[in-house]
Structure 1
Amino acid sequence: MAEILSQSEIDELLKAFSQGEVKDLEKVEEKKTKKIRSYDFRRPNKFSKEQLRTLQMIFENFSRSLTSFLSGYLRTIVNVVVVSVDQLTYYEFSNSLNNPVFIAIIDASPLEGPFLLELNNNTTYAILDRLLGGMGKGEFLDRDYTEIEVNLLTKIVKQILPLLEEPWSNIIDLTPSLMRVETNSQFAQIISPNETVALCTLSIKINETEGMMNFCMPHLTLEPIVPKLTTKFWFSSMKKEEKVNPELIKEKIDKTYIPLTVQLGSTTVTVGDLLKFEVGDVIMLDKRYNEPVEVIIDKKVKFKGIPGIKSKRYSVKITEVIYKGDEESE
């Protein structure tokens, strides 16, 4: 049975409490609870939330450039968006990969250490199908990549890497280059399994096929620039947009080289005649010797002229301008 306090004891207790000699036990317990924070030593957090948010901003800029590039390169509708940016151990990342897998190990110069780019099978087979004339269906084939497929994917990765330079320019002048390609995750152990990495996952949708692209960035590689991975530094170092100079653009265009073809004439022959051609045979064209020839640029007839010789070289003298610039609608 609990002890019952007398009236005098109750008065003494209230007096002590009012003078601050007795502390509020609930407030003390609440303060102690706030100071306790769980920490997993097997998965130490080396990136703050702000640093991960800055990485997400970098790859959102990259995803926009990648969308434009892949849409033009594959000649189809492509959409790339950032799904997540997380930190985890390299073991957790490598353990989630299924073989065969396409992994590009990237030299992240001037940083000391590599990045890792992984394309899952849905993405790679959709790209390969589109490059080889298909509709871009990512049908998974349970086999290793062929040498031709690896070469095609390697070529496209080499063209993707320069797109990383501009998004990273506010933090560091990155010049990424491809070191090697692996199709087995066991041969892509670039760091210790317990090391922390930042993993950026992008979703790539090619027509109706959706796949993933993962950028794995070890903390050891990013360590020299981790203090710069803040939104404040990001916006303070953004370069001001330069005003467009029409004269400079015109000057650059004027120095651009374009292929030009002169067509003397054409004709048709049978397959039988073609197989009988020998050195010394004469082919009759559909134009007379005194008729003007066509000067073709980008598969369009732009000028007509008369063939001749100048400074011991075959030449064409322009006699007629078909149309200039955009005067004729296409």
Structure 2
Amino acid sequence: MSDVLSQNEIDDLLNALSAGEVDVAEIEEDTKEKKVKKYDFRRPDKFAKEQLRTLEIIHDNLARLINNFLSGYLRSVVEIDVLSTQSMVYSEFSNSISNPAILGIVNFSPLEGQIIVDISNDVAFSMVERLLGGMGKNPLLKEARALTEIEEVLIRNIIVKFINLMRESWANIIELKPKLENIETNSQFAQIVSPSESIALVTFNLRVGDTEGMINIAIPHYVIEPILPNLSSKLWFSGGTKREKTVIERQSLEERLERSKVPVKTIVGRSTISVSELLTLSVGDVVVLDNNAKSEFEIYVKDELKYFGKPGTHKNRMAVKVSRINEEGADNHG
């Protein structure tokens, strides 16, 4: 808002105009000057603001999932938050990476292309130390160094868990099947796109105990271009895609349950003998059971009596044929 002139200032301005000290044409020329908005063609804005906001919402959800996972996995106090979600060219991101780095190259299937998960050395070594029984103080980071084979395996397991959690955070947009392809320690070997390609960079701040560092997720524009129309707050909060998947997820869960294996055992009979008889048992001795040849056997599923059955054979193997269901067990457990 322009300043309001006082009466004295107005009088001075009129006097200056009358005396010719101020050119009216210059004033009119200034008012007609058009405002120009700067645009850097080297950094085209391929991501709309709403799309970046939706990406931030997705990764806020991912941060909560990672926080829950790391707290239990590391048995330590963990805090993780999304610091920023911004658009930039890939060269800016790669030039900001220090070597040696920890860069997870992730196949973002079913979308074409790869993304990068960049974990700062501070929190990476702190997590490794926690997993190896230390306090996470990270005393070895006075000088930057590459990961050992054991450390790389541990970090790989953590990154794999991170990208698996992405499936849940992206569920409202697309059913992802991400896969970790490789871990690079030099940014020059992690050229997943051309240097001028636009990316969305999501930056997390991660605190593990007293150690604090960054996690960056770089998502190239061309990778998520097919689903950009779905990156809207309206679609996210409507949860329509999520509801459509509920039936499929339930069917998948039922199929996995049906393939699950449970222990089943049959009690042929029981008997009670003294310790002296037990000590004198030998091959050929006969132990009399409380069941006769025509009695039903008890069939247990795990430790629960579920059925009764009759002995027999099936394809030259001993078997038990279910004769009836234990009604008490069915009433107690549905």
Q: TM-score, normalised by structure 2?
A: 0.64
Q: Distance in 2 between matches of 1:224 and 1:194?
A: 20
Match in the other structure for 2:92: 92
Q: Distance in 1 between matches of 2:115 and 2:31?
A: 48
Match in the other structure for 2:162: 160
Task: Please list, as runs of the form range in 1=range in 2, the aligned pairs for 1:1-330 lying within 5 A after superposition.
Answer: 25=28, 29=32, 32-33=34-35, 36-139=36-139, 140=141, 141-238=143-240, 239=242
Match in the other structure for 1:275: none
Q: 1:66 to 1:256 in 2, by over 3 A?
A: farther
Aligned-pair distance for 1:123? 1.2
Whether the aligned pair in 2 keeps the contact of 1:123 and 1:210 (CA below 8 Å) is: yes
Counterpart amino acid of residue 214 in structure 2 = M
Q: 1:50 to 1:129 in 2, by over 3 A?
A: same
Q: Distance in 2 between matches of 1:114 and 1:170?
A: 20
Aligned-pair distance for 1:288? 10
Find the residue that maps to 2:84 and give its secondary structure.
strand
User: After TM superposition, what 4+ stretches of structure 1 lie above 3 angstroms from structure 2?
Assistant: 24-28, 237-242, 255-258, 287-291, 310-313
Q: Distance in 2 between matches of 1:288 and 1:219?
A: 81
RMSD over aligned Cα, in angstroms?
Answer: 3.7
Whether the aligned pair in 2 keeps the contact of 1:202 and 1:213 (CA below 8 Å) is: yes
Higher percent of residues as helix: 2
Q: Distance in 2 between matches of 1:27 and 1:187?
A: 53
Find the residue that maps to 2:180 and give its secondary structure.
strand
Q: Distance in 1 between matches of 2:29 and 2:192?
A: 51
Q: 1:122 to 1:256 in 2, by over 3 A?
A: farther
Aligned-pair distance for 1:174? 0.9
Counterpart amino acid of residue 192 in structure 1 = S
1:239-293 Cα offsets, whole Å, 9 max, x none, are 3598xx9xx99xx7xx7869xxxxxxxxxxxxxxxxxxxxxxxxxxxx99969xx
Q: 1:43 to 1:257 in 2, by over 3 A?
A: same
Counterpart amino acid of residue 43 in structure 1 = R
Find the residue that maps to 2:79 and give its secondary structure.
strand
Counterpart amino acid of residue 165 in structure 1 = R
Aligned-pair distance for 1:169? 1.2
Unaligned runs of 5+ in 2: 1-15, 19-26, 264-274, 280-302, 304-310, 319-334
Q: 1:28 to 1:236 in 2, by over 3 A?
A: farther
Find the residue that maps to 1:53 and give its secondary structure.
helix
Find the residue that maps to 1:72 and give its secondary structure.
helix
Unaligned runs of 5+ in 1: 5-23, 259-286, 292-301, 303-309, 314-330
1:154-196 Cα offsets, whole Å, 9 max, x none, are 1221122110001111111111001111111111011111111
Q: 1:288 to 1:152 in 2, by over 3 A?
A: farther
Instruction: Judge which range, 72-81 or 110-119, deviates more.
Output: 72-81
Q: Distance in 2 between matches of 1:184 and 1:77?
A: 30
Q: Distance in 1 between matches of 2:276 and 2:95?
A: 73
Q: Distance in 1 between matches of 2:277 and 2:97?
A: 68
Counterpart amino acid of residue 143 in structure 1 = R
1:57-80 Cα offsets, whole Å, 9 max, x none, are 000000000001111111111111
Q: 1:99 to 1:289 in 2, by over 3 A?
A: farther
Find the residue that maps to 1:94 and give its secondary structure.
helix
Q: Distance in 2 between matches of 1:47 and 1:207?
A: 35
Whether the aligned pair in 2 keeps the contact of 1:121 and 1:138 (CA below 8 Å) is: no
Counterpart amino acid of residue 131 in structure 1 = L
Q: Distance in 2 between matches of 1:26 and 1:257?
A: 87
Q: 1:28 to 1:64 in 2, by over 3 A?
A: same
Counterpart amino acid of residue 170 in structure 1 = N
Q: How many equivalent residue pairs?
A: 245
1:82-112 Cα offsets, whole Å, 9 max, x none, are 1111111111101111111111100000111
% identity of equivalent residues: 44
